[in-house]
Amino acid sequence: MRRPVRRALASLAALSAVLAGVAAHAAAAQVWYFADSPTYPGVRLLEIGEDGATVTSDWYGTMPAQNVRRNAQGFEFDLGNLNDNARPVRHWVAAVQGDQLTLTGDIWTSHVVQSARPATPQEQKRYRFTPTSLPPLTDLAVDGQAATPPMGWSSWNRFAENIDDKTVREIADAMVATGLRDAGYTYVNIDDGWQGERGADGILRPNAKFPDMKGLADYVHARGLKLGIYSSPGPKTCAGFTGSYGHVAQDARTFAAWGVDYLKYDLCSGEWFYRSQDEVRRGYQEMGAALKATGRSIVYSLCEYGRVDVATWGRKAGGHLWRTTGDITDDFASMTAIGLDRNPRFPAGGPGGWNDPDMLEVGNGGMSAVEYRAHMALWAMSSAPLLMGHDVRAMSAETKEILENKDVIAIDQDRLGVPGHRLRSAGQAEVWSRPLADGGHALALFNRGEQAVTLHLTPAETAQQTMALDVWAQRRVSTGDGFVLPAHGSVLLRFATGLGVSAD
């Protein structure tokens, strides 16, 4: 007998032994119910059937167990971790004692020890997971939104899930009072943490912190601003709130009825269902089509961390911007790793579809003003969406000055929509160039190092111009002198003449 066949037969025999053993331990219990499931990953059911075992979790749906085998206490099995980045197979142990089962194992970052009892038919019905199917791949029509990168504010970087209606209203007011709205920041985006539960009708309700979403949208609109919201193609969002899995079209209609103008759709637990490019794209396309079907103009932000070549299909899935990275943190190393190293590796975005290196950290306190200017200059040179992430109600004069600098915003929002790129590196310094619609260009000089450096521009870099606008200093400067950049510093220059790339 060939070895694989023998192995297969041996594992079948082992499985029957498991099933017999389990049956002996708890005759009635083929489906176990975990009432005290920790919120993450929310294991609910362990089902032992004729042909193996499955684990059903609130986050990840139903996962098949592998290598189910009996041991002295009950049985054990392996569970593949389907996370795209790391897929170690985790070992799980199910110890059975009469009508109680204790399950021990790991999912992704969580170590789980949970007790179960036999599931009632009602519990089985309630928690059995129904997989949904994805629509066939198609190219959605481009709709003309986001001709320039979206600008606004998002709750996540500063507030995480500690966000509520009152804070959002106050932020909207502060955006008007501080001049940020008039500088171009129009979206007020609620990130993760607003969701409650679905009703019997399947409609997703906000949680108690957001008593009236329509009222909130009206409030924001009355101030000349727009409202953004957040969901996931998975059953759970990254912070463990209800996602749109199985309710995609219904949620799109709910958002439109509230008056939502922007949706960030974050892969999160969806990565357990959608892994290949085809699946991830169809998962995003499903919501893209559902948003269009509402008839409301809703900017659609794809957040799947730059996986599976999103920049090549984001627009076709209905997206207007797509993340190119995991989450930014409020420090120079994270900001430059994303802005200088990772984001430039993606094919260029442009009008209607932008690369998104994540939300701004300007004003959150983890970087110096020098570093925040580099952050802002780099995002502007990259034609990145400018979604502020700080507490606008308590903004320093320096933060306001960085965010409201009209010339840095003009570079970001330049209607040509061609992102900049690195011209050269000089030690720890970099020179970046971006063509502009008026035929001119912008140059940015960045110093990643811990020592000050002096950079001299070449005639090619200045397009033979002897003067340029220094965007941070707000004055015209001679381009022939060396530019001194402090540690982590930047210089941003605007030239009247370009480097050979014109608006047409």
By the criterion CB under 6 A, which residues form the site for ligand GLA? 156, 191-192, 237-239, 266, 303, 327
**327 catalytic per annotation:** yes
Output 25 or 158, the one with its CB closest to ligand GLA. Answer: 158
Instruction: Give whichever of 238 and 381 is closer to ligand GLA, judged by the CB atom.
Output: 238
- Of 77 and 194, CB closest to ligand GLA: 194
266 is catalytic: yes
Q: Which of 84, 327, 407, 438 is catalytic?
A: 327
State the CB neighbour count (10 A cutoff) for residue 201.
6
Min dist CB 182 to ligand GLA, Å, is: 27
- Residue 318's DSSP bridge partners are none
Tokens of 150: 């979206």
The smaller minimum CB distance to ligand GLA, of residues 44 and 323, is found at 323
Per the DSSP assignment, residues forming a β-bridge with 86 are none
Contact 220, 261 (CB under 8 A): no
Q: How far is CA 51 from the centre of its chain?
A: 37
| Both structure tokens of 83 | 């996370």
Nearer to ligand GLA, 191 or 430 (CB): 191
Computed on alpha carbons and rounded to an integer, the radius of gyration of the chain in Å comes to 27
Q: How far is the CB of 238 from ligand GLA (least distance, A)?
A: 3
Catalytic residue among 266, 356, 414, 470: 266
Q: Kindly state the smallest distance separating residue 237's Cβ from ligand GLA, in Å.
A: 6
The closest alpha carbon to 335, from 362, 296, 369, 299, belongs to 362
Q: Is the dihedral of CA 359, 289, 224, 211 positive or negative?
A: negative
| Closest distance to ligand GLA from the beta carbon of 241 (Å) | 8
Nearest to 70 by CA among 47, 49, 96: 96
Q: Kindly state the smallest distance separating residue 347's Cβ from ligand GLA, in Å.
A: 21
Instruction: Name the residue among 406, 428, 405, 364 with its Cα closest to residue 158.
Output: 364
> Do strands 43-49 and 31-33 pair parallel, antiparallel, or not at all (unpaired)?
antiparallel
Could you give the 3-state DSSP secondary structure of residue 471? coil
How many Cα atoms occupy the beta-carbon half-sphere of 297 within 13 Å?
A: 7
Nearest approach, Cβ of residue 325 and ligand GLA (Å) = 9
Per-residue buried b or exposed e for 265-278, using 16+ beta carbons within 10 Å of the residue's own CB? bbbbbbbbbbbeee
Q: What is the DSSP string of 176-215?
A: HHTTHHHHT--EEE--SS-EEEE-TT-PEEE-TT-S-HHH
Least distance (Å) from ligand GLA to the CB of residue 428? Answer: 29
Query: What is the DSSP code string of 113-152?
Result: EEEEEEPPHHHHHHH-----PPPPP-PPPP----SS--EE
Residue type, 38: P
- How near is the Cβ of 161 to ligand GLA at its closest, in Å? 7
d(Cα 305, Cα 300) in Å, to the nearest integer? 15
Q: Provide the H-helix boundaries in 320-396.
A: 332-336, 369-381
Residue (58 or 266) nearer to ligand GLA, CB: 266
Angle in degrees, CA 333, 339, 342, rounded to 5? 95
Q: Which is nearer to ligand GLA, 19 or 387 (CB)?
A: 387
Task: Give the residue numbers marked as catalytic.
Answer: 266, 327
